Amino acid sequence: MAVHKRGYRGYAGQLTPLWSRCWIVTRYAFKNVFQWKLLTSFFYACFIFPLTCAAGIYVNHSTRLLVMFGVRSLFDVDAGFFFQFLRVQGSLAFILTALVGPGLVSPDLANNALPLYFCRPLSRAAHVAGKMMILVSLLSLITWVPAILLFLIQSSLAGWSWMWANLWLPAGVFLGSAIQILVFSVLALALSAWIKRKLAAGAALLAVFFFGAGFAEAVDAVLGTHKGALLNISRLILTVQAQLFRQPWRSPISAGSAWMALLAVSGICLWLLARKVRAYEVVRG
Amino acid sequence: MNDAAPDKRIVFEDVSKFYGEVLGVNRVNLSIPPGITSLVGPNGSGKTTLMNLMTGLVEPTRGRIRVLGLSPRQPEQLFRRLGYCTQYDSFPRGLTGYQFVYSYLRLSGRGHAEAEELAVQAIERVNLGEAAHRSIASYSKGMRQRIKLAQAICHNPTVLVLDEPLNGLDPLIRAETIALFRALAAQGLHLIISSHVLHEVDVISDQVVLLSNGYVVAEGEIRGVRDEIQEHPMQILIRCNNPGALASQVFLQDYVVEARLHHDGGGLLVKTRDADRFYLLLNRIAQNGIDIESVAPADDDVLSVYEYLIGTEEPSK
Amino acid sequence: MVPVIELEGLGVRFWQRNILQDLRCTLSGRAIGLLGPNGAGKSTLINTLLGFYPVAAGTARVFGYDIRTQTMQIRSLTGYMPETDCFIAHMTAVSFVRMMAELSGLPSSAALERAHEALFYVGLGEARYRKLGTYSLGMKQLAKLAQAIAHGPKLIILDEPTNGLDPPARQRMIRLIHEMRDSRELQILLCSHLLRDVEETCDEVLILKDGRQVHYANLEEERRTNKRFLELETVGDDGGFAEAVENLGCACAVTSGKRMKIVLPESFVMRDLYRLAEARNVQIRRMNYRRDSLEDIFLKAMENSNGRS
């Protein structure tokens, strides 16, 4: 028999590599995100449209089913198709951001947990990257990942020649989604960092988009220009995507300025994040 | 506690306070004389409830309270004689320290000149003269604590109710504030102070009130309270060069119930039912070959009384 | 002993103000106390050692690592228990401590084991499966301590660990700190306003004021020296005891009521004092050699610095 005393003892085992630490933040945030049933259901619901499109593509290449429906083809799988697909999934992505985003940084700030993160070998960039990964992965899963899968399905059914002709499409899909995901993510994180309450942060995100549009129109009307559209983020994203998919799109601003404006917005949000996400709060006085 | 007349005391007669079903305090009977009285007890034991009852911020469900003859149901009269310093750290926004104290004085009906004079005096007493005209938002925690104190004493009350007044103060300011309390007590004020730092309570209080789960478990002067706890014999720690020999000698007496060698081998912890006889015995033993280095009562203080009467509870409650 | 913290002319500036200036010291005790009035720079020093603030002048080392260039190594070896409330309301104590341990480098399964061990050690029983948002103040402090020790650091920094705790919780916290110190597995930097706690726990003390270092005291050494005074508390003395003591050749001062302070001559023998007590039927209830307590050291240091500045 032996009596075991439980005192304090140190840790002498292996340590995980430094670069992998930011994934820990992501993992725990994922656990927290999927605790909310509404969000989980909505996330799954975002796959309904891609699945429908996949079914449609299959029907397009099945003579038997086409005869049954009495049409020559349901729809054309071309640049226009992908453009519209990204528009639909893009709006869903926006709603997903509004649901997930606010709860990412604000719980850490609400009760001052940041010093505990940063007294560990975790840099501020790794922390923010870890949080962004959640949004980036979730949004990717409902935007460019299903789009590319649809492209592959179409290629496998339509043949090599079709794929060669349209090889620029996946690149456009990826870039178009990437800029959208980037802007949504940093905007949501920045608002979550500056606005302590989750509901208010979510509302602020909606406001930035919808009131931004209204504000842009107002600026146009007052200043008599068309440059107000630079403030309308959803417009900017559409302009960029339209150019990538070579779609006709009337826009008062060029695609180049749209890219610049979006990158500027992302830069500002990252700067705002850097100001808030730190181990201590600096108070003047 | 029977020497002062009833209207020189704070009296609780069979007072109970319930918040719906939740117990605040139950059947409290107290008669508090002038001097420094400390309220001691775990969180949730009823200390803040007792203070709120005294100041009239809540009404008792049952029983009667008299503060120097006045009833807390007459706040106008009561607050002329009473000053209250809460434990909460919030202030009206945008005020400077001086304005905070001054406006309180004006609100109680004093004219401008009088209010100014009293405000300046109170601020000087807590040593905040230099920072008086800075906004409270820029104060450190210790300074905020002190300006609250200034507001409580500015109208020269005869009763001071202070909820954890030393919280967050650094050692120097602690010592100064304790000296201020002593000075006020010497003038005949009633100071009711709640605190968690028991070794300080020992040093500054004239009497203590121990609370647990809404009941008054003990009250009075510490030494008197300790003597009444018969189930726990007095413990005395004696450090000497030969604790074993000391032990064998003290065991010869029947009023020594236990002698324990200290774990570092240099002392003896004695439990005795009769402290007086034991100490006189020690005088004799100390001359016969045993070199005594130090003598200290091990449980003659608030901490020990607390542990005996209230005990140590599980943290996950 | 390997020095824990070495300050080499450390200076920190903020918005044109010198918050810390010219700190020079080597600290190597099992438990180190950091004292000073409010605004002295204690939190700034801790934040600088953890790499939160940039260094403006000089440098400092923790376990030999330079705080300017090897911040990550230092953070791997330290645990921090801040003074303010620090928690994530929607996480349970186990998840929280586990995540913090993983962020400090422990593999996931080891982190889970050590999280449970740490929570058990600090005394959080079933409550560990509840969310931190539902915890009382005492429990939050214990959870903070658990996250500071779960990854087995070599140095833990405790900033006012007993803040707001009621007496039994205070005792428990102090006892835990003493146990950790005595286990010799780690070293402690304790920052507190309660001098008694620091005195009972630490063997070295650094005192700051206005960003400068005003005193360094090695309490171990102080405890071994200085036996020339005696403090007494008596019962049964009808007034003549002090005089009788003086006849022994000691200078005697009655401080308050029954307490007196005696200056001992070279030839003093304790036996004589007790002989006197027996003869006069006086009980010596309390007796100890007086040495400068931490309070005296602190007050002296403050006075000296006032004189200088």
What pLDDT does residue A8 have?
79
The residues near C303 (Cβ < 8 Å, ≥ 6 apart) are none
Query: pLDDT of B248-266, one tens digit each?
Result: 888 888 888 889 888 878 8
What pLDDT does residue B2 have?
47
Question: Is residue A14 in some structural domain?
Answer: no
Count of domains in chain A? 1
What pLDDT does residue B121 have?
92
User: Does residue B94 surpass a pLDDT of 60?
Assistant: yes
**Inter-chain touch C271–B286, beta carbons under 8 Å:** yes
What pLDDT does residue A116 have?
93
**Inter-chain touch B316–C277, beta carbons under 8 Å:** no
Same domain, B79 and B167: yes
> Which chain C residues are closer than 8 Å to A12 by Cβ?
152
User: Does residue A79 surpass a pLDDT of 90?
Assistant: no
Give the CATH number for residue B286. Answer: 3.30.70
Same domain, B69 and B214: yes
pLDDT over 70 percentage in chain A: 95
> Which chain B residues are closer than 8 Å to C172 by Cβ?
312, 315
User: Does residue C75 surpass a pLDDT of 90?
Assistant: yes
Q: Which of C241, C243, C239 is nearest to C287 (CA)?
A: C241
Q: Which residue has the higher pLDDT, B225 or B316?
A: B225
What pLDDT does residue C23 have?
92
Same domain, B111 and B238: no
Residue C97 to chain A, least CA–CA distance (Å): 11
Q: Which residue has the higher pLDDT, A238 or C135?
A: C135
Query: Considering only alpha carbons, which residue of chain A is nearest residue C145?
Result: A116
Q: Sorting pLDDT into bands at 50, 70 and 90, what band is C135?
A: very high
Q: Among C137, C195, C286, whose Cβ lies nearest the Cβ of B295? A: C286
Query: pLDDT of C194-218, one tens digit each?
Result: 998 999 899 999 999 988 998 898 8
Give the type of residue at C192.
Answer: S
Question: Is residue B35 in some structural domain?
Answer: yes
Question: Is residue B308 in some structural domain?
Answer: no
What pLDDT does residue C301 have?
85
Domain that holds residue A214: 21-276
User: Does residue A249 surpass a pLDDT of 50?
Assistant: yes
Round the average pLDDT of chain A to a whole number and report it: 85
What pLDDT does residue A162 have?
85
Whole-number Å distance between alpha carbons of B292 and B285:
10
Question: Is residue B174 in some structural domain?
Answer: yes
C5-223 CATH fold: Rossmann fold (3.40.50)
**Inter-chain touch C193–B291, beta carbons under 8 Å:** no
**Inter-chain touch C89–A107, beta carbons under 8 Å:** yes
Same domain, B203 and B257: no
> Which chain C residues are closer than 8 Å to B310 by Cβ?
168
Query: pLDDT of A199-246, one tens digit each?
Result: 888 888 888 888 877 877 787 788 777 666 677 788 788 888 888 888
| Chain C contact probe: residue of A6, A11, A18 with most C CBs at under 10 A | A11
> Residue C308: helix, strand or coil by DSSP?
helix
Count of domains in chain B? 2
**Inter-chain touch C86–A112, beta carbons under 8 Å:** yes
Instruction: Report the residue count for chain C.
Output: 309
Query: pLDDT of A55-78, one tens digit each?
Result: 888 888 887 877 887 777 778 888
Q: Sorting pLDDT into bands at 50, 70 and 90, what band is B119?
A: very high
Query: pLDDT of C137-151, one tens digit each?
Result: 889 999 999 999 999
Q: Which of C66, C65, C55, C70 is nearest to C19 (CA)?
A: C55
User: Does residue C132 surpass a pLDDT of 80?
Assistant: yes
Whole-number Å distance between alpha carbons of B293 and A21:
56
Measured on CA atoms in the order C82, C88, C93, C98, is the torsion positive or negative?
negative
Same domain, B197 and B250: no
User: Does residue B288 surpass a pLDDT of 60?
Assistant: yes
User: Does residue A280 surpass a pLDDT of 80?
Assistant: no
What pLDDT does residue C7 have?
92
Q: Classify residue B96 by its DSSP letter.
A: B
Same domain, B138 and B176: yes
> Which chain B residues are closer than 8 Å to C170 by Cβ?
196-197
For residues C66 and C240, is the Cβ–Cβ distance under 8 A?
no
Same domain, B200 and B90: yes
Question: Is residue A199 in some structural domain?
Answer: yes
**What pTM does this model have?**
0.81
Q: Which residue has the higher pLDDT, C74 or B263?
A: C74
Q: What is the complex's ipTM, to 2 decimals? A: 0.84
For residues A216 and A252, is the Cβ–Cβ distance under 8 A?
no
Round the average pLDDT of chain B to a whole number and report it: 86
Same domain, B204 and B245: no
Class of domain C227-290: alpha beta
Same domain, B144 and B282: no
Q: Among B167, B198, B287, whose Cβ lies nearest the Cβ of C274? A: B287
For residues C162 and B168, is the Cβ–Cβ distance under 8 A?
no
Same domain, B26 and B134: yes
Instruction: Report the residue count for chain A.
Output: 285
Neighboring chains of A (3 or more beta-carbon pairs < 8 A): C
Neighboring chains of B (3 or more beta-carbon pairs < 8 A): C
The owner of tokens 């869903």 is A92
Q: Which of C287, C291, C290, C256 is nearest to C274 (CA)?
A: C287
Domain-ending residue, one of B184, B210, B227: B227
Domain range summary for chain C, segments of one domain joined by +:
5-223, 227-290
Q: Sorting pLDDT into bands at 50, 70 and 90, what band is C257?
A: low
What pLDDT does residue C225 have?
65
Question: Is residue A110 in some structural domain?
Answer: yes
Round the average pLDDT of chain C to a whole number and report it: 87
User: Does residue A1 surpass a pLDDT of 60?
Assistant: no
Domain that holds residue B85: 6-227
| Chain C contact probe: residue of A104, A120, A284 with most C CBs at under 10 A | A120
**Inter-chain touch C86–A18, beta carbons under 8 Å:** no
> Which chain C residues are closer than 8 Å to A18 by Cβ?
72, 105
Q: Sorting pLDDT into bands at 50, 70 and 90, what band is C291?
A: low
Q: Among A31, A119, A122, whose Cβ lies nearest the Cβ of C80? A: A119
Question: Is residue A9 in some structural domain?
Answer: no
Question: Is residue A282 in some structural domain?
Answer: no
In the stretch 266-285 of chain A, residues with CB closer than 8 A to chain C read: 278-280, 282, 284
Q: Which of C65, C1, C50 is nearest to C30 (CA)?
A: C1
Residue C127 to chain B, least CA–CA distance (Å): 6
Q: What is the 3-state secondary structure (H, E, C) of C115-133?
A: HHHHHHHHCCCHHHHCEHH
**Inter-chain touch A113–C87, beta carbons under 8 Å:** yes
Domain-ending residue, one of B227, B243, B274: B227
**Inter-chain touch C106–A11, beta carbons under 8 Å:** yes
User: Does residue C110 surpass a pLDDT of 50?
Assistant: yes
Question: Is residue A16 in some structural domain?
Answer: no
Question: Where is average pLDDT lowest: A136-140, B146-150, B248-252, C268-272?
Answer: C268-272
What pLDDT does residue B1 have?
44
**Inter-chain touch B283–C194, beta carbons under 8 Å:** no
Question: Is residue B76 in some structural domain?
Answer: yes
Number of Cβ atoms within 10 Å of the Cβ of C111: 24
Query: Considering only alpha carbons, which residue of chain B is nearest residue C40?
Result: B170
Question: Is residue B315 in some structural domain?
Answer: no
The residues near A170 (Cβ < 8 Å, ≥ 6 apart) are A147, A148, A151
Six-digit token string for A282: 């600096």
Query: pLDDT of B4-61, one tens digit each?
Result: 566 789 999 999 999 888 888 988 999 999 999 999 988 888 898 999 999 999 999 9
> Which chain C residues are closer than 8 Å to B313 by Cβ?
168
Strand runs (DSSP E) across chain C, as ranges? 5-14, 17-27, 31-35, 57-62, 65-66, 78-81, 155-159, 187-191, 204-209, 212-218, 229-235, 251-256, 259-263, 283-290
Residue C104 to chain B, least CA–CA distance (Å): 26
- B55-70 burial, b at 16+ Cβ within 10 Å, e below that, comes to bbebebeebebbbbeb
